[in-house]
């Protein structure tokens, strides 16, 4: 083994531009697929007696300096665990490379020291660096004083210095700082210096490898982004850690390159905000329920991800001086609100209402979508101030199908804020309906009091349509005009106290029925002229005297 010559200090050709130009997450081109065999080999190496023997075993599969550094990195990240006990009791702790190797645990200084020694044996220049970090225990907006609190490495590859942090590459400790979990993080291998500076501030500013370098004050003030934020290719606005509310509201927007799903928590819940998904990101307004400082967390996951795990990508402090008491959202409102690229993917195309909030003055509104193939839709209406039964939640919405178009006619039972929930499933699937999205419908007009639509039965076909009467509550002792669009049936009857047949005119069945002497009115169809039985399709109630 060759021992390396003394490392040269960083100079002009090592520097990268700040702020990050979004070119790459790494400081040199790395093809991770080319490392697959080497990574698998390095993981399996099991040598604990000496650092030299370990390096010798790892280098069997490594030719270039980059491959040597990669093998050492992969081995350390998967075999050395963070010593949470030692961290709390440093007198018992040795950071000597051989001790770290034999105990299989250490704190950051031990990781960095072992990395440095292994590189040196392998003939690659490597430095152990010290500085401040925004790691465990960091509080947003805090200042840094006194001794450095973290250690990491720089390695010399292809004529330039590069940065890495094997402690953070190996996993994470829990909030209570009592348990370490191995969770490999590729982000901290040869991280682009303009991203590394986000949470690593070296004692010697030359090791930022940046042009221009940042001051400690800038480092303290800069928003902390974790690795998930960069891995997902996000940008956020505002770029300050602390947001002041304006009239009780604070707004955040996030942009992303590829389809990403988001959630958020303000004070640990998502009920004090309003989030919409955009083509390339999301927009969020939050309304803190109390004055003071509140933690706002934003989580994200790629839409293609197979697991349902959202990872925290952003944290803000929202400072609220006055509460907007007028803005409160129904408890049934689900985030995000309104249609989006995501609902399009679920088969709801060309929404008539692309915005998430629908305002109605007369308590009525109508939404249309073009539906993807083979989709069956279920809808319901929810409101905090009314105790609608399950059945009534559905009966204030009428579905009308025309070809691949669906219209949702909504008649609100009273003024207020309502949530329209939309569920769907494949018609060919026997299973349950899946929740897809929701709208917020608001009506301020206190005169509004629409009755429900008539109750429909299973024989009411999807392409049937009621033209009149739309109200499920008919006046007593009146002649009521019926007009129904129903294709492919032999006869239609309206049954009140007496039976009234409807006549067919230009695709509609029409006629009148008298409501005296009855509490209910049924519409029945004779589907086939050769059959003698009728099927009930609709039921109306009649007002009591």
Tokens of 412: 């609100």
C-beta atoms surrounding 151 within 10 Å: 24
Distance CA 545, CA 540 (A): 16
Residue 422, strand partner residues: 379, 437
Distance CA 349, CA 38 (A): 47
- Active-site position among 14, 39, 165, 417: 165
Tokens of 9: 């200090």
User: Is 162 within 8 Å of 190 (Cβ atoms)?
Assistant: yes
The order of strands in the sheet holding 348-349 is 348-349, 364-371, 405-411, 397-402
Chain-centroid distance of CA 368 in Å reads: 26
CA angle 385, 387, 389 (to 5 degrees): 145
φ, ψ at 362 (rounded to 5°) = -100, 10
Distance CA 495, CA 535 (A): 12
| Alpha helix stretches (DSSP H) within 82-131 | 84-88, 97-103, 108-122
The SS3 assignment for 520 reads: strand
User: Is 511 within 8 Å of 521 (Cβ atoms)?
Assistant: no
User: Is 173 within 8 Å of 81 (Cβ atoms)?
Assistant: no
User: Is 353 within 8 Å of 344 (Cβ atoms)?
Assistant: no
The SS3 assignment for 358 reads: strand
User: Is 201 within 8 Å of 210 (Cβ atoms)?
Assistant: no
User: Is 480 within 8 Å of 513 (Cβ atoms)?
Assistant: yes
The SS3 assignment for 95 reads: coil
Q: Is 165 a catalytic residue?
A: yes
Provide the angle, in degrees to the nearest 10, between the axes of the packed helices 108-122 and 51-59: 60
Distance CA 205, CA 199 (A): 14
- Active-site position among 77, 108, 126, 383: 108
Distance CA 495, CA 539 (A): 10
Query: Any residues with CB less than 8 A from the CB of 250 and at least 6 apart, and which?
Result: 243, 244, 285, 286, 288, 296, 316, 318, 320
- Active-site position among 16, 119, 126, 150: 150
Nearest to 509 by CA among 465, 474, 457: 465
Q: Is 500 a catalytic residue?
A: no
Q: Give how far Cα 203 sits from Cα of 152, 173, 216, Å.
A: 12, 24, 10
φ, ψ at 67 (rounded to 5°) = -65, -40
Give the active site residues. Answer: 108, 150, 165
């Amino acid at each position: 083994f060759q021992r390396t010559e003394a490392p040269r200090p960083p100079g002009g050709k090592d520097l990268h531009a700040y702020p990050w130009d979004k070119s790459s997450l790494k400081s040199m081109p790395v093809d991770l697929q080319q490392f697959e065999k080497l990574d698998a080999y390095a993981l399996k190496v099991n040598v604990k007696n000496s650092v030299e023997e370990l390096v010798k075993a790892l280098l069997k599969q490594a030719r270039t300096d980059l491959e040597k550094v990669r093998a050492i990195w992969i081995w350390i990240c998967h075999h050395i665990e963070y010593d949470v006990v030692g961290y709390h009791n440093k007198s018992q702790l040795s950071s000597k490379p051989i001790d770290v190797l034999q105990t299989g645990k250490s704190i950051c200084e031990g990781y960095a020291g072992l990395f440095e020694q292994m590189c040196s044996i392998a003939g690659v220049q490597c430095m152990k660096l010290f500085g401040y970090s925004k790691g465990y225990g960091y509080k947003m907006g805090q200042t840094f004083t006194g001794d450095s609190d973290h250690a990491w490495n720089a390695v010399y590859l292809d004529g330039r210095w590069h940065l890495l942090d094997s402690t953070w590459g190996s996993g994470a400790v829990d909030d209570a700082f009592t348990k370490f979990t191995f969770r490999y993080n590729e982000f901290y291998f040869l991280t682009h210096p303009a991203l590394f500076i986000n949470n690593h501030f070296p004692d010697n500013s030359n090791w930022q490898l940046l042009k221009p370098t940042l001051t400690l004050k800038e480092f303290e003030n800069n928003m902390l982004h974790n690795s998930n934020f960069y891995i997902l290719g996000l940008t956020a606005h505002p770029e300050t850690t602390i947001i002041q509310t304006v009239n009780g509201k604070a707004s955040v927007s996030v942009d992303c390159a590829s389809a990403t799903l988001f959630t958020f928590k303000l004070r640990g819940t998502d009920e004090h905000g309003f989030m919409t998904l955009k083509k390339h990101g999301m927009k969020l307004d939050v309304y803190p329920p109390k004055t003071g400082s509140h933690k706002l967390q934003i989580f994200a996951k790629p839409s293609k991800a197979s697991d349902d795990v959202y990872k925290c990508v952003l944290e803000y402090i929202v400072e609220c001086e006055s509460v907007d008491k007028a803005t409160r959202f129904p408890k049934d409102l689900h985030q995000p609100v309104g249609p989006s690229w995501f609902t399009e993917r679920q088969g709801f195309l060309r929404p008539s209402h692309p915005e998430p909030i629908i305002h109605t003055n007369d308590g009525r509104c109508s939404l249309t979508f073009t539906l993807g193939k083979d989709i069956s839709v279920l809808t319901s209406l929810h409101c905090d101030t009314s105790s609608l039964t399950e059945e009534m939640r559905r009966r204030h919405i009428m579905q009308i199908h025309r070809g691949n178009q669906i219209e949702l006619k909504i008649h609100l039972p009273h003024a207020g804020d309502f949530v329209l929930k939309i569920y769907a499933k494949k018609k060919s699937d026997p299973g349950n309906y899946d929740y897809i999205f929701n709208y917020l419908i608001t009506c301020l007009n206190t005169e509004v009091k629409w009755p429900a639509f008539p109750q429909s039965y299973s024989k009411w076909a999807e392409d049937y349509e009621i033209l009149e009467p739309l109200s499920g509550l008919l006046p007593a002792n009146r002649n009521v005009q019926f007009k129904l669009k129903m294709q492919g049936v032999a006869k239609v009857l309206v049954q009140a106290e007496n039976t009234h047949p409807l006549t067919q005119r230009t695709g509609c069945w029409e006629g009148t029925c008298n409501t005296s002497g009855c509490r209910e009115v049924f519409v029945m169809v004779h589907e086939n002229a050769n059959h003698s039985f009728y099927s009930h399709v609709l039921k109306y109630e009649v007002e009591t005297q």
